[in-house]
Amino acid sequence: MRLFVSMGVAAQTGGPRRPRVRVVDADAGTVVDELAFEAAHAPSADAHQEATSASFTREGLLLQPAHTELLWIDPVALRIVRRVTDPLFHGLHSATESDDGTIVVTCAGLDSVLELDPEGRLLCHHWLREGRFADAYGGIADFRAVDHHGFQPHSHHPNFAWRGGDDVWATCFETRDCRTVDGLRRVALDEAIPHDGRLRHGLLWFTQVDGHVIAVDPDTLERKLEIDLRELCDTKKMLGWCRGVEVADDRLFVGMTMLRSSSHREVLRMLLRGEQGEKLPTRILEIDLGRLRVVREIVMAGGEGATIYGVTSRQIRQ
């Protein structure tokens, strides 16, 4: 089995991050390949352009967003076969294919969820804030030209979205929940900032940045499992920014990103419950769900210049 880890990687600490998809042999616990690319329509040469949370299509292609574009990647050849962009693509954080072949993407920077046709053309724009989208941004025609931090603070910051039946769901960083875009249903994730929301084995799996993994029944919205990675890892060091989750049978894979030295990360030290200065590297944790123990840590980068956005898996026959 292969894990596809969507990342942003900087050549040096503090430098601009660039999109990377790293392929991990999940059984050997080693990185076996990497796709590096430059994202289209970057607002500047120094802007971060990262590979954010990807998923697989029914055709077996990796549907990989970056902040200003969406790519379809052949996972065997590790080759980009198609890429699209749109003036509304600002801070794309996830992409998932619906049962009918349409695509749901999150625009975290615009507090928006978009639905696209199978070719990547815009079908529907769900704006999560009150009021009219057209009144909010001063007549900007192309949001790709604005840095993806340009509209902070955000009201919702949707970081993962998908369609389930007639509902479009979005996991929101700022409101600490997962909600339908019409606001009628909600999963409270109040304890800490949430990410993800992958449907695996009949449950929705969320991460929280402080190192919790929560599994929720998508019908009743009841919590069925809660895992505290602090307890499993048994360390006083800083676990990192917990984001990216995948479940394969009884194996759970969770992404952990080393905290950066920026004020945005350092103010979260108390939340993330680590001792000052004791940081762990950017890595993937493999957890045995049957015995609830960490069986492996796969280091993805040793410094502060790498971030994990998503983890997804596929059985690949070479």
**Is residue 115 in some structural domain?**
yes
Quote the domain boundaries for residue 243.
Answer: 198-318
CA-to-CA distance for 255 and 167, rounded, in angstroms?
27
Question: What band does 267 get if pLDDT is binned at 50, 70 and 90?
Answer: very low
User: What CATH number should be reported for the domain holding residue 121?
Assistant: 2.130.10.10
Residues paired with residue 227 on neighbouring β-strands, in sequence order: 213
Structure letter (DSSP) for residue 228: E
Please check whether residues 132 and 213 belong to one and the same domain.
no
**Together in a domain, 152 and 48:** yes
- Examine residue 20 and state whether it is found in any structural domain, yes or no: no
Measured CA to CA, the distance from residue 114 to residue 236 in angstroms comes to 40
Average pLDDT over residues 294-314: 90
* Banded model confidence at residue 318, pLDDT cuts 50, 70, 90: very low
Task: Say if 13 falls within a structural domain.
Answer: no
Q: Do residues 113 and 244 both lie within one domain?
A: no
Q: Are 214 and 292 in the same domain?
A: yes
Say whether both 184 and 112 belong to one domain. yes
171 touches 178 (CB < 8 A)? yes
Q: pLDDT tens across 32-85, in order?
A: 999 999 988 888 888 889 999 999 999 999 999 999 999 999 999 999 999 999
| DSSP string for residues in 224-245 | EEEEEHHHHHT-SSB--EEEEE
What sections of the chain are H helices per DSSP? 229-233, 263-266, 269-272
Q: Domain for residue 9, yes or no?
A: no
How many CB atoms are closer than 10 A to CB 146?
18
| Domain presence at residue 303 | yes
Task: Name the residue with tokens 């898996």.
Answer: 313
Stretch 167-193: mean pLDDT, rounded? 94
Model confidence at 2, in pLDDT bands (50, 70, 90)? very high
Shared domain check, 123 and 240: no
Question: How far apart are alpha carbons 181 and 134 in whole angstroms?
Answer: 18
> Which tens digits make up the pLDDT trace of 10-42?
877 778 899 999 999 999 999 999 999 998 888
**What is the rounded distance in angstroms from the CA atom of residue 162 to the CA atom of residue 157?**
15
Residues 207 and 184 in one domain: no
Based on the domain organization, do 178 and 253 belong to the same domain? no
Q: What's the 3-state SS for 76-97?
A: CCCEEEEEECCCCCCCEEEEEE
Q: Please indicate, yes or no, whether residues 57 and 179 belong to a single structural domain of this protein.
A: yes
Inform me whether the pLDDT recorded for 240 exceeds 50.
yes
Please say if the pLDDT value at position 5 is more than 90. yes
The pLDDT-based confidence of 314 (bands split at 50, 70, 90) is confident
**Residue 12: inside a domain:** no
State the total domains in the chain: 2
User: Do 160 and 61 share a structural domain?
Assistant: yes
Q: What percent of the chain has pLDDT over 70?
A: 92
Dist. CA 52–CA 65, nearest whole Å = 6
Higher per-residue confidence, 299 vs 304: 299
Q: Are residues 48 and 171 in the same domain?
A: yes
Q: What residues contact 263, with CB distance under 8 A and at least 6 apart?
A: none
The confidence band for 155, taking pLDDT boundaries of 50, 70 and 90, is: confident
* Final residue before a domain boundary, out of 141, 168, 188: 188
Domain boundary among 188, 208, 238: 188
Residue predicted with more confidence, 16 or 213: 213
User: The CATH number of the domain where 293 resides is what?
Assistant: 2.40.10.480
**CA–CA dist 213, 183 (Å, integer):** 24
d(CA 42, CA 54): 19
Residues 129/112, Cβ–Cβ less than 8 Å: no
The tokens of 106 are what? 């999150």
- 143 and 229, same domain (yes or no): no
The answer to whether residue 210 is domain-embedded is: yes
Contact between residue 306 and residue 257 where contact means Cβ atoms under 8 Å apart: yes
